[in-house]
Amino acid sequence: MTGKKPRVLIVGGGIGGLTLALALHARGLPCRVYEAAPEFQPLGVGINMLPHAIRELTALGLQPALEALGVEAREFAYFNRHGQAIFAEPCGRFAGYEYPHFSIHRADLHKVLADAVANRLGPDAVRLGHRCIGVEQDTSGVKISFEDAEPATGAIAVGADGFHSTIRRQLHPSEGVPHFGGINMWRGVTRRKPFLTGASVTRVGTVARGKMVIYPIRQFDDGTQLVNWVTEQPSDDHKPNDWATPGKIEDFIAPFADWRFDWLDIPRLIAEAEFILEYPMVDRDPVDRWTFGRITLLGDAAHPMYPRGGNGGAHAILDAEALARLLDGMTDPLAALRAYEDERLPVTGEIVLTNRDQPPDHIIEAVDALTGGEPFDRIEDVIDPAELAAISDRYKDIARYSLESVGR
């Protein structure tokens, strides 16, 4: 880009907003992040960072820090509700990718990003306690207004302010309430000895009869791990979608009372949790526009999706890379925002819809339908494993982390 470089104002200091700040800085583009919270706190539980996301974080020099804090995943493993193995396949570098797959605590990932922003862009790069209440634009730039702070002006505004985005609400004022999928989630973390390979991203059971996703996110010197787990169960009602809502074991334990397998005692895993959080399975229908002149959306503000398949955070990171690349490579910043929307909106919209009906654990649903949910003698007598691999490959293609698209 020639001439004066546009100053980018980023609303939201989450995974997407901080990654965008790093990606812009790496290209010499000035920016500042405005975060509503008065301080960053270690919130959330586990997150899977697949090779397509790690490719971009590696380009930003963050892979060593992630490797020190997370667990490099070795495999995806699928089981029925009886603990019988259905399908397994290697992941990350163990599947031939150039980049690893890290399972990591969301707070650890956020700290890596926040520390890098502070070290590279300076301590004033992130302005905390700046709750956005609206954004205006004219032919010369944008002005963001805040609840208890002076307005900020720049050339471009990026709404990276999450599921409850103020900027999305301003751009799409007639959008309805979030889409509730009739499923509630409970999540927790438990410190325990490793199970299976010690680095398995494990899916067990089905939503209708009890489903869990379990994987380690932190390794301790004594050989134990912090294991993240989540269950999805049908529900007619739900609480507000707030990641900090505490959950109660008695509300969800019933399907898992006898899930004591030779490879993991799941009732004990749940009982020994450090904490439990409750969250409804909600997303929003894809919209037809993110970009309005000098304003655009990114991450959950652009494409809030079910937390399945490791794609919410990953595609916020991919959004950030694309937007920074296009702003750097085009002389007209407004044209860059339109090109960003053209590149990213169709991809993420397809993932939003796929996550509702055919996420990765559709593998287990397919087997459950064939067996009536009962035990089997040999999986090969139920279904050709190649058909299960095809289900997995289809999701990778849609989510853009197939081996061909990410690179060996």
pLDDT given for residue 241 in this prediction? 64
Say how far residue 80 (Cα) sits from the centre of its chain. Answer: 25
Cβ atoms within 10 Å, residue 246: 8
Rounded Cα distance, 249 and 186, in Å: 9
pLDDT of residue 237: 72
CA end-to-end span of the chain, whole Å?
31
Q: Say whether 265 sits in a helix, a strand or coil.
A: strand
Greatest CA separation for the chain: 69
Domain regions of the chain by residue span? 8-47+106-177+285-357, 180-283+358-406
Mean per-residue pLDDT pooled into runs of 10, the chain (408 residues): 76 98 98 96 88 98 97 98 98 97 97 98 97 97 96 98 97 92 93 98 96 97 97 80 82 96 98 94 95 98 91 96 97 97 97 91 95 97 96 93 84
Q: Are 341 and 322 in contact (CB under 8 A)?
A: no
Residue 329 has a CB neighbour count (10 Å cut-off) of 11
Looking at residue 22, its pLDDT comes to: 98
CATH of 8-47+106-177+285-357, one of 3.50.50.60, 3.40.50.620, 3.30.2130.30, 3.30.70.2170: 3.50.50.60
Q: What's the pTM?
A: 0.95
Q: What is the DSSP letter of 402?
A: S
* pLDDT of the residue at 41: 83
Q: Which residues of 260-279 are buried (b: 16+ CB within 10 A; e: fewer)?
A: eeeebebeebbeebeebbbb
Q: Which two tokens stand for residue 6?
A: 């546009």
Edge-first strand order for the sheet with 71-72 is: 46-49, 102-105, 71-72
Q: Which of these CATH numbers, 3.40.50.2300, 3.40.50.720, 1.10.20.60, 3.30.9.30, describes 180-283+358-406?
A: 3.30.9.30
Q: What is 61-89 written as a DSSP string?
A: T-HHHHHHHSEE--EEEEE-TTS-EEEEE
Inter-axis angle of helices 385-399 and 362-371, to 10 degrees? 150
List pLDDT tens digits, range 20-36: 999 999 999 999 999 99
pLDDT at 1: 41
Q: Please give the structure tokens belonging to residue 322.
A: 């694309």
